[in-house]
Structure 1
Amino acid sequence: MNTRVMAHTGRRRIRRAANGTAVEGAARAGLTARGVIYLLVGILALQIGFGTGDRQADRGGALEELAGRPFGAVLLWALGAGLAGMALWRLSEAVFGAPGKDGRTAKKRVPAAVRCVFYAFVAYSVLAFAAGSGDSGSSDRQSRDVTARAMEMPAGQWLVALGGTAVVVAGVVIAVQALRRSYHKKLKLGALGPRVRRLIDVTGVGGGTARGVVFAAAGAFAVRAAVDYEPDRAKGLDDTLRSFASTPLGPWLLVGVAAGLVLFGAFSFALARWRRV
């Protein structure tokens, strides 16, 4: 009897270890894929800032950039697979909980479920583009279309305003957490040397702050679209980035934000290596 129980316990531990390894691999592949997208978007935005770019600085532009490179099809499939891994990782966190003492609370599980849905959609769009059954899409057009459809719903104007406000708040939270280096809690700090840690802080603070600024700006445009009842005022990632060039600081603000997105891409690569999963 004891031998049977011990064998069952051993098999259960092996399955748990295998599942943990699979989830960890999916998470690291997903973080790498996210880093590739932010890196490409940042580079495209830098080109726009310097007046040398003609692609949209969003996910669609990034996919088109990859597709035009040698072995572009292979890269697209790998990117889609990585993003699918990100969705599976977030699904695991939503169902089983995340690492940490509060990992099983609703405060952690609900955002994980939202991220799972988002990355599942992104992975599907990338894989569809890789298979030739979908286009790269324009974030600006998608943003305007979604805003227009939402405004046609009962209390749609309020829904868009609330959604935009939520994105603004999310952007502020992202920037503040980056400035406070909250990501330290997720890193294997003991495995980092002083130089690597400083480099991660440069990418984490600079990249996270820039990402938060972009989120907040996009949310502000959605709120403005709701207040004015003009869906065309909503902006996707490309138009949001280009709007920075229209400020008194001119293209240099766009260049600064774009450089920050490049840093966030590098930060995602660092997380893929040293994040605790």
Structure 2
Amino acid sequence: MNSSAMARTHRLGAERAARGSVTEGAARAGLAARGVIYLLVGVLALQIAFGDSSRQADRGGALATLAGQPFGTVLLWALGLGLAGMAVWRLSEAVFGSVGPKGRKPRKRLLAVVRCVFYAVVAYSVLTFAAGPRGGGSRSSDAQSRDVTARVLDLPGGQWLVGAAGVGIIVAGVWIAVQAVRRDYRKQLKLGEMTPWARRLVDVTGVVGGAARGLVFAAAGVFAVRAAVDYDPQRAKGLDDTLRSFAHTPLGPALLACVAAGLALFGLFSFALARWRRV
């Protein structure tokens, strides 16, 4: 066997390992962990909509809620390890490509790299919080957004960088919502293993949940653009403040309640993906 054939054999073996049961288990654990966070954030935002302003509807609030439950530390470690599994799965997609005919395209691989980095950071913050209540995971998303925006604004061309990031987040939010409404997620599902009832459930949670998630992303992007235009990092908002801003629209807390319910549904949709997504 020549060297090129051996290299090809090794590559195929590595790819099979990357798509094996361990990586599949990591992906499904990661999707379930993401579902827990979105479900908790949605529930916390619903409580805010109904008058409990002491809640913090973001990842920090979700972690604090879990920490207050029986075996809270165990739950936090499980959540952090699940999110680490999501990062591992995305890394395998970046290296070997994702499932589907277009899974090896450069755009798909680049998106997998971005997702890998994002979930690695989130997993680290959750595991830090699990290791000690004063970890970085407890810090509010609003404070983090303002601090990051302030640092970027101080850079040469900082206003343009923050503005471009805000526009990118708006575009991402619109893209997420459009994909959800078009039900593009169906291409990733094992539809043959699903009952008609399960398909209807996935469509409700996927469409409504995805649209709500996209709306929140787009709103956060708008606030980032405003921070750039006004050169004011206080204009930037994290997840908690972004959600609260819906209550200050003409529709009032009712809009926040609808968006919050949508995020909770996206959490349930993530659980469905953990069960039926092709990995």
Distance 2:184 2:204 in 1: 13
Q: Deviations over 1:221-251 (max 9, x none)?
A: 0001101111100000000000000000000
Distance 1:63 1:55 in 2: 12
The residue that corresponds to 1:217 in the other structure is: 219
> Are the structure 2 counterparts of residues 178 and 134 from structure 1 closer, same or farther at C-alpha, using a change threshold of 3 Å?
same
Q: If the length of structure 2 is used for normalisation, what is the TM-score?
A: 0.93
1:82 aligns to 2:87 (yes or no): no
* Count of equivalent residues: 270
Q: What is the root-mean-square deviation in Å for CA atoms of aligned residues?
A: 1.8
Following TM superposition, the consecutive aligned residue runs of length 4 or more in structure 1 with deviations greater than 6 angstroms are: none
Give the CA deviation at 1:16. Answer: 2.7
Distance 2:265 2:216 in 1: 14
Q: If the length of structure 1 is used for normalisation, what is the TM-score?
A: 0.94
Give the CA deviation at 1:52. Answer: 2.7
Give the CA deviation at 1:74. Answer: 0.2
The residue that corresponds to 2:127 in the other structure is: 127
Distance 2:151 2:80 in 1: 28
Q: Secondary structure in 1 aligned to 2:175?
A: helix
8 Å Cα contact 1:44-1:53 kept in structure 2: no
Structure 2 gaps of 5+ residues are 2-8
Match of 1:248 among 208, 232, 250: 250
Opposite residue 165 of structure 1, the aligned amino acid is: V
Distance 1:17 1:150 in 2: 40
Q: Which shows bigger deviation, 53-62 or 163-172? A: 53-62
Distance 1:51 1:45 in 2: 10
Identity %: 74
The residue that corresponds to 1:269 in the other structure is: 271
Structure 1 gaps of 5+ residues are 2-8
Q: Secondary structure in 2 aligned to 1:153?
A: coil
Give the CA deviation at 1:18. Answer: 7.5
Distance 1:37 1:215 in 2: 16
The residue that corresponds to 2:153 in the other structure is: 151
Distance 1:245 1:53 in 2: 11
> Are the structure 2 counterparts of residues 147 and 83 from structure 1 closer, same or farther at C-alpha, using a change threshold of 3 Å?
same
8 Å Cα contact 2:15-2:96 kept in structure 1: no
Q: Deviations over 1:68-119 (max 9, x none)?
A: 0000000000000000000000000001111111111111000100000000
